[in-house]
Structure 1
């Protein structure tokens, strides 16, 4: 099971949008996926079309990590029904896209003084989880306890940045923070790469900053870059998967995330897990 944290230490760069795009691509690819909404704002939960249920949210599960059952408290994304309507599964088994529901309660752990025991709370919950090929963790835009908790539980960290001065500088700071954290707490953690998001191809500033990012980060800058989508807010406001939204713009965006997911994870290994799960 691949566990990937989607992170940025600067807010407003579209981190949650990238999480949702990757979740949409994983659903379309048939990869059983869990999205852990660790941001206290819980925007990923809203965007994934999750209806209120009796399950415990991720904050309350973290509090009882030793005895908590994450698998029993996930909620199916509302996107799954739409996916089945568009592409009925040949095996008769529905695709899997589940959500560990976010809430403001998780904010009790978003502080800088968490010890090693607290940092392992999410890892403890995930260690008992079965049936998924991919776990995507939507982190808060800070280096407080929740992000560090996510990094402790992850194999890799995917960074999201806009091609702007402050975002590029923030990405460089995040890279340094990951290296320091890896040395002290998570020796097996690696950087999956950097996604350039909300790119405007006609912008001279964006063209300059992308060149700067290629020079600074080399192969860590992933392909493709994600072009700014005029209807992205509409898609998210409708709590809809980009892969099942009509129009050429949405199809192009879906293609970006398909390619990004392919470059992010070992799709062949994930699909073999899907076969064993079936």
Structure 2
């Protein structure tokens, strides 16, 4: 696929989501976004978690969050007004702060509340994709609320970080039921982009067992790349940096670059198949 062709098409909108907390969701959003930018993709991350960890982890201090995801969802601000540069060239973020936790109450009387983010993204893409954005990644909160529903309604697909631990599949079952409900009522095109195994410990038999179980159940939907348990990945957010800027040579950085390449190959294959169907 030519670069010009990629630049002229709409960005792929992907929710990074899991209703279970502590699975590496924000870490994956930050570092996958960074790795995609490192391989010349242009990326926007929408921080849709009131904790604002994705914003902090990409070096955006609270004082610089002048327009946030709350203003997009509740105040009808255009998405481009919230775009904020990060420490990563080619990667922008719509930041978040604690105000976002009030979105559910603020939107309680809006019958179309589930579509607010979708409308904002569509308006942005129609008006401003002259910038050639390739991917919009949405970092979702670890719960099913109006924020997660907005993200899934606005997305082409969902990418699920899955920790290699005993209850991993149980949490995944709940998430897949949510995806089915969203498909049925709000977004019929929502697809499973893929499952990425995180916090994998090669010294732990349980990690290998969980990985084998997930691959048996979901086959090619599971990325070949596995994100290892890595102390440098854990340290990086406290420095306001993704791990690729904190320590490019560590195992975690290499894994996220490999994952980004897998995602891009997957997207090129999907577009090629679409074009073949149209032809």
- TM-score, normalised to structure 1, is 0.84
| Number of residue pairs matched by the alignment | 251
List runs of 5+ in structure 1 lacking aligned partners.
81-95, 270-278
Q: Please list, as runs of the form range in 1=range in 2, the aligned pairs for 1:200-219 lying within 5 A after superposition.
A: 200-219=201-220
Q: Which moved more, 1:138-147 or 1:171-180?
A: 171-180
The aligned residue for residue 75 of structure 2 is 64
The aligned residue for residue 31 of structure 2 is 21
The aligned residue for residue 47 of structure 1 is 57
CA distance in 2, matches of 1:154, 1:205: 33
The aligned residue for residue 194 of structure 2 is 193
Name the Cα RMSD after superposition.
2.2
CA distance in 2, matches of 1:158, 1:247: 23
List runs of 5+ in structure 2 lacking aligned partners.
1-10, 270-279
**Of residues 74, 79, 84 in structure 1, which corresponds to 2:88?**
79
The aligned residue for residue 259 of structure 1 is 258
CA deviations over 1:67-123 (Å, ceiling 9, x no partner): x2211221100233xxxxxxxxxxxxxxx2111011111112347978651011111
**Of residues 48, 51, 56 in structure 2, which corresponds to 1:38?**
48
The aligned residue for residue 91 of structure 2 is 97
- Of Structure 1 and Structure 2, the greater helix share is in 2
Q: Which moved more, 1:101-110 or 1:219-228?
A: 101-110
Contact map agreement 1:114 1:145 (CA 8 A) in 2: no
Partner secondary structure for residue 214 of structure 1: helix
Contact map agreement 2:45 2:94 (CA 8 A) in 1: yes
The aligned residue for residue 244 of structure 2 is 243
CA deviations over 1:133-182 (Å, ceiling 9, x no partner): 11110000111111010001100000111111222210122112212211
CA distance in 2, matches of 1:232, 1:190: 28
CA distance in 2, matches of 1:73, 1:150: 17
Q: Which moved more, 1:199-208 or 1:256-265?
A: 256-265
**Of residues 113, 116, 119 in structure 2, which corresponds to 1:118?**
113
Q: Which moved more, 1:214-223 or 1:259-268?
A: 259-268
The aligned residue for residue 86 of structure 1 is none
Contact map agreement 1:113 1:145 (CA 8 A) in 2: no
Q: 1:260 offset after TM fit, Å?
A: 1.4
CA distance in 2, matches of 1:203, 1:40: 33
Which 4+ residue blocks in structure 1 deviate beyond 3 angstroms? 110-116, 265-269
Partner secondary structure for residue 112 of structure 2: helix
CA deviations over 1:40-71 (Å, ceiling 9, x no partner): 10000000001433631111221123xx2211
Contact map agreement 1:55 1:75 (CA 8 A) in 2: no
